[in-house]
Structure 1
Amino acid sequence: MDKLNLLLTQSGLANLTLGQLAMILVGLLLIYLAIRKGFEPLLLLPIGFGAILVNIPEAGMYAAPVYGDDGHLLSAGGLLYYVYHIGIGSGVFPLLIFMGVGAMTDFGPMLANPKTLFLGAAAQFGIFGTIIGAVWMSSMGWMDFSLTDAAAIGIIGGADGPTSIFIASRLAPDMLGAIAVAAYSYMALVPLIQPPIMRLLTTQKERAITMTQLRVVSKREKIIFPLLVLVLVALFLPSATPLLGMFCFGNLMRESGVVERLSDTAQNALMNTVTIFLGLAVGSKLSAEAFLNVETLGILLLGLAAFCVGTMAGVLMAKGMNLVSKTPINPLIGSAGVSAVPMAARVSNKVGLEANNQNFLLMHAMGPNVAGVIGSAVAAGVLLAYLG
């Protein structure tokens, strides 16, 4: 009976707290959204599963290794501890993801219409506007965010998951779980969040604007562009080099045409492998102690505000450009300046077709969409330069 009693007291059920149960349910919810609703399944499914693993009592999935006084290893530690510290603590996983995204990105639409760079830049206003909002909330006593916390939260407005994780791991590691979940959740909810904002800020006539066909971009231009961007940004903003460097390297592999095997690996095998471990590592930060607090609610609300402000800024910039541009710009493509590639561009195209069934905006929207990726990386570099 003593051994049975010992077994019972050491079981997960006997040690399960209400907070851990709540976070297990959150993990199950993320898995449900991934499977049933199709919301960013490649990341929400492993994040949700990681959240379940880390909240199982006595499992030790995130336990740190224990060493004796003589330096001998007494306990090896949990799998998720190593996955997080090797992949996210070092910044390796987000950078590898960025390389894969670069290998899948076509800069052609942006090079064919360089004006769309301004739309991608305008959408980053959500990042800096949210930082100001977070600092203001702290000054009012509603939240307790430091300036580095505010910067990590604000980057959600770029709608770029790897960038959000990279910045959070550098500036606010304790908030990484909430920031990552907010970033990927809002990216998945682009089709629900953006259309009402787009319709509110534009008229039926503006949404029906038909844009001229894009010119054909040469292979030489596509090869030179990532090299040019990297060199220029690295010289002026070295702190942006890790993110932008891996992004440009992946894109160069794609456009050079001489390393198809490497490009294919970056886009598929490597990208998929890293995504699995990235999701589990993020899920490991969704422990009850780290997630169930008032700050998490503030992060979710500020992240939503950042995303909405970024969308609004992109649309308003496109409307402003129409005042001086000789060729009309459909303001809907401005919303694609947030770097949720290619979801935001698809939403712009969908809303445009509702206003004019002959209005195909997808390729036009891809310009500000990929410009937004560059913009979010540059914004991240600025934050790291001042606060890192």
Structure 2
Amino acid sequence: MSLDVRIGVIGLGYVGLPVAISLARKFPVIGFDVDPRRISTLRECDDWTGEIDAAELQRSTLLFADGTEDLADCNFFVVAVPTPVDDSKSPDFSLLRSACQTIGPIMQPGSIVVFESTVYPGATEEICGPELERVSGLQCGKDFKLAYSPERINPGDKERSLEQIVKIVSGQDDETLDTVASVYGSIIEAGIHRASSIKVAEAAKVLENTQRDINIALMNETSKICDLIGIPTSDVLKAAGTKWNFLKFTPGLVGGHCIGVDPYYLTSKAAQLGYHPEVILAGRRINDSMPSYVVNRILRMLAQRDIPISRAKVGIFGITFKENVPDIRNSKVADLYQTMIEYGIQPQVCDPFADPEETLREYGIALEPSDEWSDFDAVVFAVPHKPFLDDIGNLVQRATRAGSCVIDLRSMVHRPDLPHDLSYWAL
């Protein structure tokens, strides 16, 4: 198939930028973002997400734009904007609508609009299509076509890059599906999966992260039971993991822009249809309750060591939602911090990856260097960043004193190496 596509990628975050860079190896591509600062830094070959290095940005033919006029010649649009939830855990489509309002006025007849943002099944055709019609004056399905290809980017993963992950594609009709499959097929080495409909592709995306959320919730609940029994959860998981079909999930705090968010898109759609999901929402409740559970366990440990809570000196290692990335969105470590504040503890936080200005602006948390941390009553190892793992023994020794509490949320510490005068607890 001869492809005459001129691509505009809307949203240049963790998802959009790698897609734009990869597509630019095969097609003319313009990357658009509403944040002028983002465009400015990318033009300087600086990607603050850490996904694309400076050399690759410098080599790329990708053009950057923060003005819609630069997109006027595009006929194939990829929308990769965030789709968060609001305070009531309902889907927030404001950024998606805004993206449609950006594309619509400059969209040409014959254009294809591919959405990569996570949505509930039906949203592409029920929300995005009508919004594009409204602002463009064109007719969906006749003058322009819709497609959906869910993002599967794993931030910080250098082994499973965009090109190495099977890409799900779907289209409004067979012709659109063929075009979308050909465009993505030209860059995806792992292969293309053609979904039978847009709704199927949308549902597949939210199911992927809902399944992970429920499995982590099971591990978190198991961790609570193991704690009551008095056995290490990590030892139980190591033993159970010797069976070939045991899924190797671990307990922990579930934050970020996917696992802690996507299930609400599925449950929201279910509620619209009159069905109340039980398992999915139970998993969400368990995972959302973990920061409070951890803080209560820390308070018990401090009390057992006769350390007054009001004067307790606590250090937290890590605040990003996962290891080795700077992304602090929906950080459950921030919830952990806030819960401690409510009990009168003033914890200190360090993170070698998080941006201090963004963390202060988003959560009111001032990050500190941990080089001179010492004599803490309790240290919380929350995120297994590589710099922490590489120096974990020294970090423990330097930051603690006799009688300190070590709280290990991701089994980072090798227990046998700990001094006997420390109190240790892990999820």
TM-score range, shorter chain: under 0.3
TM-score, normalization by structure 2 = 0.26
Bigger relative contact order, structure 1 or 2 (CA pairs below 8 A, ≥6 apart): 1
TM-score, normalization by structure 1 = 0.28
User: Looking at CA atoms only, which structure, 1 or 2, has the larger radius of gyration?
Assistant: 2
Greater strand proportion: 2
